[in-house]
Structure 1
Amino acid sequence: MNILMTGGTGLIGSAFIRTYQSEHKFTVTTRNKERARKLMGDDVTLLSSVDEVVDIGRFDAVINLQGEGIADKRWSDSRKQALKDSRWQVTEKLAAMIKGAETPPKVFLSGSAIGYYGPRDSSPVNEEGKPEHTDFAVTLCQEWERRALAAEKATRVVLLRTGVVLAKGEGALAKMLPPYKFGLGGPLGEGKQMMSWIQLEDMIRAIQYLLEHDNLMGPVNMTAPGPVANEAFSRTLASVLNKPHFMRVPAFVLKLGLGEMSSMLLEGQAVVPDKLRNHGFEFKYPTVREAFQVSV
C-alpha cells in the first residue's frame, strides 16, 4: 500500500514503519525532517505538513497518529488547547481532503483513545460503550472522532481507541520503571482503577490487520483482552522485575503534583477489544505479565 501517515516519528508510527517498510510505501509528515530521516532512512518520503499533499487520492490509506503527548506536561489551559489543536486540526484537514478527492484513499485510520469512555467501574466496556461522565479526555476524544467521521461517506473510517502502549525503553512504561528498579514501586491511590493496555507489537499488528480487513470500521478498541486493576498491574510489573512492591502513592500526592492530569492515573476503564477478537485477530501478548516480559 501507498500510505500517508501523520505522527510517523512517534512511538506507534515509527514502530509500524520499521516493521512494515518492506510491504508498504510511506509518506510521513514531520516538523523535523533531519531527525525523521535519521530515524526512518531514505526510503520514506517526508513532508513538513499535510498542506504539502497535492493529491491525497494517490494514497491507498491514510493513518493519522498526530497529537501532542497527553501526559507530557501538566494540563494548564494553554496545554489543553495545544492537545486539542494538535489532534483536531490535522484530523479535520485530512477528512476534508479525503472528501474532496476524486478517488479517495480506501481507508482512513484515525487516532483516538480509551479516554473516550470516561472514568468507569471495573465492568468491561466494548466499542458499544458510551461515556458515563464527561471530563477533558472525553471531550477531547469525542471531537477528535467526530472530525474523522466527516470522511465516512468517502472512505472507510476506523477510529483507533488506544490504551496504554507498553514498549521496551519507550513511552509510558519507560516513565513508570525507575521507581520499580529501585524497589520503590507500588500502586497509585487505592489501586482499584482499571488499566487498559496493549503491547506495542500487538498494536502495530492490529493496525496492519485493520488495513487488510475491509469489513472493520468505526471505533476499534486497541487494547489487549486483559485489562487489570492498577494494583495488579503494579504488582505484576514488580514481580517480573523481581523487585518488592509496597510503596503506595497516595492520591492527594498525585493531585498536588499533576493537578487535573492526575485523573489519568487515578481513574480508569476496563476496555475490551471485542471488534478485533470477533473478527479473528489474535493477540500475541494477551496478559499483562506476557507483555511485561518482553517490554522491561
Structure 2
Amino acid sequence: MTRTVVIAGASGFIGSYFTRRFLEEGWQVRTVGRDVSADAQWHDDGGITKSLDGAELLVNLAGRSVNCRYDERHRREILDSRVLTTRALGRAVAACAEPPRTWINSSTGTIYRHADDHPQSEASGELGTGFSVDVARAWEDELAAAVAPDTRKVALRIAIVLGAGGVMSPLQNLARLGLGGHMGPGTQKFSWIHVEDLFRVVLFVHQRAELTGPVNAATPYPVDNRELMSLVRQSMGVPFGIPTPAWLLEAGAVLIRTQTELVLKSRWVEPRKLLDAGFAFEHPTLADALNDIAKQVPKPSLP
C-alpha cells in the first residue's frame, strides 16, 4: 500500500527538497500551497480536507521568508503566513474522516533567547523576547489549539537549514566577493541542520510515537560565526574574507532590506529529544555538511 504525505508549503527550498526525497522513498506526495500546481490552495478548506483525508503524514513548512525588514506590512505577512496556514490545516484535519496519524508543523529554534552561555534544550531552554519569538509562540499556540484527537501534533523547532540554496547562497556570495569574514563579534552561536538530516528527522519523528511536544531539529555540533565563515570560505576555495563589524551590518541591512538578527543573534539549540531517542545525524559537523553542499555549487575562479 502506498504511503501518502501531504506537504504544505512545498514550493520553497525545504519543501522542494522534501517533495523530491519523499518521492524517491516511494511515498505519494500531495501538496497544499498558493501555486495553481498545488493539489489544494489555502483558500479552499474543502480541497485541503480532501488532500489530507487518508494521508499518513502531514508536514507543514508554510511561512513567508523572514529575510526582509520588519516593517508593519512584513510583520503581518510573516505572522499570518504561519498562523493562518496552521489554522487552516487544523480545520481540515478536524474535518477528515481518516486524519493523518502525525502532523509535523514547522517552528523555529529562534524561539529561544540569545544564548552564548549554554545550549537550549526542549526541557531547559528559555524562550526569548521580541518579534521573532512572538511569531514562534503564536505559531506553536495555533498548532496546540487545533482539535485533532486522532493526530499526534509535533512542533519542530528548526535551526538554520543548510543545503544547495536557502541561506547558503548569500554566505557563498559574500565569500566569492572576499567579504566572508566573521560578522559582528564572531562569537555568536550558529545552530544549523543539513536539509537531508531535516528530512530524516521528519521521518524519525513520524515513526516514533513517544516523541511529543516541541522537538529541536539541529545538529549537536553548533559553531560560532567566526568558524562558520571560515568553513564557508574553505568549502568554496576562497583563502580570505574581510570581517564585517556590527555597525556596518546594521547599515548594510537597511540597504538590502533585511535584519541583522539573522546573523547576530546567538542561536544555541540542543536536539536533546532526538539524541535521547537515538537519532544519528548523517551530517553532524559543519565541515562535512559544507563540503557536501559545495559539491553542488561551482567554485569561484581565482587569479
For residues 129 and 83 of structure 1, the distance between their equivalents in structure 2, rounded to whole angstroms, comes to: 27
Letter paired with 1:158: V
Per the alignment, residue 66 of structure 2 pairs with: 70
Which of residues 169, 175, 190 in structure 1 aligns to 2:170? 175
Q: Deviations over 1:112-171 (max 9, x none)?
A: 111111322241111124435311111010110111112364421111111111112x10
Asked whether 1:284 is paired with 2:282, we answer: yes
- Check the 8 A contact 1:107/1:155 in 2, yes or no: yes
Per the alignment, residue 17 of structure 1 pairs with: 19
Per the alignment, residue 202 of structure 2 pairs with: 207
Q: TM-score, normalised by structure 1?
A: 0.89
- Check the 8 A contact 1:116/1:138 in 2, yes or no: yes
For residues 241 and 40 of structure 2, the distance between their equivalents in structure 1, rounded to whole angstroms, comes to: 48
- Check the 8 A contact 1:3/1:62 in 2, yes or no: yes
145-154 vs 247-256, which moves further: 145-154
SS at match of 2:99: coil
Provide structure 1 residue ranges, at least 5 long, that are not aligned to the other structure: 37-44
For residues 239 and 69 of structure 2, the distance between their equivalents in structure 1, rounded to whole angstroms, comes to: 29
* Displacement after TM superposition at 1:100 (Å): 4.2
- Check the 8 A contact 2:105/2:143 in 1, yes or no: yes
Q: Deviations over 1:215-250 (max 9, x none)?
A: 212111111111111111111222232323341111
Asked whether 1:3 is paired with 2:27, we answer: no
Aligned residues: 284
Map 1:90-169 onto structure 2 (within 5 A).
90-131=85-126, 133-151=128-146, 153-168=149-164
For residues 257 and 77 of structure 1, the distance between their equivalents in structure 2, rounded to whole angstroms, comes to: 20
Asked whether 1:231 is paired with 2:226, we answer: yes
281-290 vs 89-98, which moves further: 89-98
Displaced runs of 4+ in structure 1, greater than 6 A? Answer: none
- Check the 8 A contact 2:55/2:100 in 1, yes or no: yes
Letter paired with 1:23: G
For residues 267 and 177 of structure 2, the distance between their equivalents in structure 1, rounded to whole angstroms, comes to: 29
SS at match of 1:295: helix
Q: Please, what is the CA RMSD of the aligned residues?
A: 1.9
Letter paired with 2:131: F
Per the alignment, residue 56 of structure 2 pairs with: 60
Letter paired with 2:292: V
- Check the 8 A contact 1:98/1:154 in 2, yes or no: no
Letter paired with 1:46: D
For residues 269 and 59 of structure 2, the distance between their equivalents in structure 1, rounded to whole angstroms, comes to: 22
Per the alignment, residue 193 of structure 1 pairs with: 188
Provide structure 2 residue ranges, at least 5 long, that are not aligned to the other structure: 295-303
Map 1:82-93 onto structure 2 (within 5 A).
82-93=77-88
Letter paired with 2:22: Y
Per the alignment, residue 40 of structure 1 pairs with: none
Per the alignment, residue 251 of structure 1 pairs with: 246
Q: TM-score, normalised by structure 2?
A: 0.87
SS at match of 1:108: strand
Query: Cα–Cα, structure 1 residues 11 and 3, in superposed 2: closer, same or farther, change >3 Å?
Result: same
- Check the 8 A contact 2:233/2:241 in 1, yes or no: no
* Displacement after TM superposition at 1:70 (Å): 1.2
SS at match of 1:221: strand
